[in-house]
Structure 1
Amino acid sequence: MDLEDIYVNVKNDDMKDITGPRTQNHSQDGGKDGKCRGRRCLVLMTVCLGLICVLLLVFITLQHITITAERDLLKSYKNTAEEFNHTIISLQDKNTDLMTEKDQLKNSFSSLNQKKMELETELRKLYERGKDRFFISSELKSWSESRQYCRDHGGDLVIINTEEKQKFISSLVKEIVWIGLSDIVNEGKMKWVDNSPLKQG
């Protein structure tokens, strides 16, 4: 072996020594880098899964809140609808009562209108009888005093010259009253205060 061969062997051995550990270091560094990358991926995946879980939890919570709010709103609408139905039924009952009362009032009005027409007819008959107006005093007086009282007030004692007038006067008075008939001027001969003779007994 000559010198050159030894040098090459030494060089090769040195190179083995140098490259061997280097290769080991290099492959150890590559393993460390791979482990770091795997850990980073694992952490990143864990964080992503955590975020997805949080987002799902927020979404489910919002859905629950929305569903609860919609359920409460639906219940509120249902209660409002029931109140409206009760109000409508109550108003319908009141309307029925008012319609019945209206019919009763209409009948009463018709009855009162009929009565009014009868009274107007009776009043017209009274006016046709000479448009007499009657006053009945509650004071006790003689015939002469009663006549004077009537004259002082622009009238005279009543003259009854029809059967209708007699019935009317009888319906007004419940006690004994003076009428405009006497025999003061000629005893035994009855005359009315307007000097007309008594035609009927």
Structure 2
Amino acid sequence: MNNVKRSEITEVIYDDVMLMTETVEMDRGERVEMMVDIYDSADTVRHHDLRTNERHQPLQHTGSVSVKNRKHRAVEVCLCLVCVLLLTAVMMLCVYFTTERNQLLNHINNLTEERQKILTKYEQILIHNNNLTEERKQIKNKIDKLQRVLCEQDQRADNFKWIYYNFSFYYISSEKKIWGDSRQDCRQRGADLVIIYSKEEQEFLQKVAGNDVFWIGLSKTEKVWKWIDGTTITKGYWRYQYGSSYSDYCALMTSSGWVDKACYFSIKWICKRTILKPLIT
């Protein structure tokens, strides 16, 4: 486009020169005036070219600035995205560590509660153990007292003895009496005819009986066998099936089990004084 304009300007100058040639006969003043016009035209052309160059140069500068602005905007967008990602990561870490902290606190609270429960149970066990120790002392005192009583009785008479087994004392007589008198003798000694509560106790008394027989606290009235405390037997240790035509019968302890016999026979007997009543088995 600049070349076109320059051609036009050149043509204008050429026409002016031709005009100068045709007007040679003009006076000097007129020629000078024409030369001034030519110089003015040349200056006009130069100023036109300068304005044209100045008009195009800002366009080139504007394009470069636009590219730089786009680069700057891209960098700003990337930085914003990085900041958003970092902020999101920080928030997620905060949530994660807060959750972990809460779970840890809950676990610590649970452990504290369990520890408190264990301490409470331990204190209860200690209290129970102390109570057992106190009961043991009381039982020991009772045993010692009974032993002193029995020793005093042994010093007054030589025809009887006491045997200790499982929190009970058993008096084994050496004389013979009917069942009713035997029970009366036991009561005078602070005891009663023996009541058997377990198989282990039965086996113990069978060994004590040996080859002898002894009255025990079991009798039959109106065909029903009852202990001296009024309870009906639920389990017996009979040597053979009992049965008799006599209305009143009493039980004897032997080395092989119980036998029934008329209560008016004179036989040895076993008394029992219990410190703690054992469970019936």
Identify whether the pair has TM-score above 0.5, normalized to the shorter chain. yes
- Per the alignment, residue 105 of structure 2 pairs with 74
Distance 1:119 1:14, change over 3 A: same
- Per the alignment, residue 9 of structure 1 pairs with 41
SS at match of 1:46: helix
Between the two proteins, the alignment pairs up a number of residues equal to 134
SS at match of 2:158: helix
CA distance in 2, matches of 1:83, 1:170: 59
Bigger share in helix? 1
SS at match of 1:22: helix
Give the C-alpha shift of residue 2 in structure 1: 3.9
Mapping of 1:27-42 within 5 angstroms? 27-42=58-73
- Per the alignment, residue 87 of structure 1 pairs with 118
- Per the alignment, residue 93 of structure 2 pairs with 62
Give the C-alpha shift of residue 112 in structure 1: 2.2
Give the C-alpha shift of residue 118 in structure 1: 4.6
CA distance in 2, matches of 1:22, 1:89: 100
Tell me the amino acid that sits aligned with residue 65 of structure 1: Y
- Per the alignment, residue 21 of structure 1 pairs with 52
Mapping of 1:1-201 within 5 angstroms? 1-3=33-35, 5-17=37-49, 19-118=50-149, 125=155, 164=156, 167-169=157-159, 172-175=173-176
Give the C-alpha shift of residue 70 in structure 1: 0.3
CA distance in 2, matches of 1:97, 1:8: 130
TM-score under structure 1 length normalisation: 0.56
Aligned-CA RMSD value: 2.7
- Per the alignment, residue 187 of structure 2 pairs with none
Give the C-alpha shift of residue 52 in structure 1: 1.1
Give the C-alpha shift of residue 45 in structure 1: 1.8
Identity among equivalent positions (%) equals 12
CA distance in 2, matches of 1:82, 1:114: 47
Give the C-alpha shift of residue 75 in structure 1: 1.0
Unaligned runs of 5+ in 2: 1-32, 162-172, 178-281
CA distance in 1, matches of 2:141, 2:71: 102
TM-score under structure 2 length normalisation: 0.42
Q: Runs in 1 of length 4+ with deviation above 6 angstroms?
A: none
The higher-RCO structure (CA 8 Å, 6+ apart) is 2
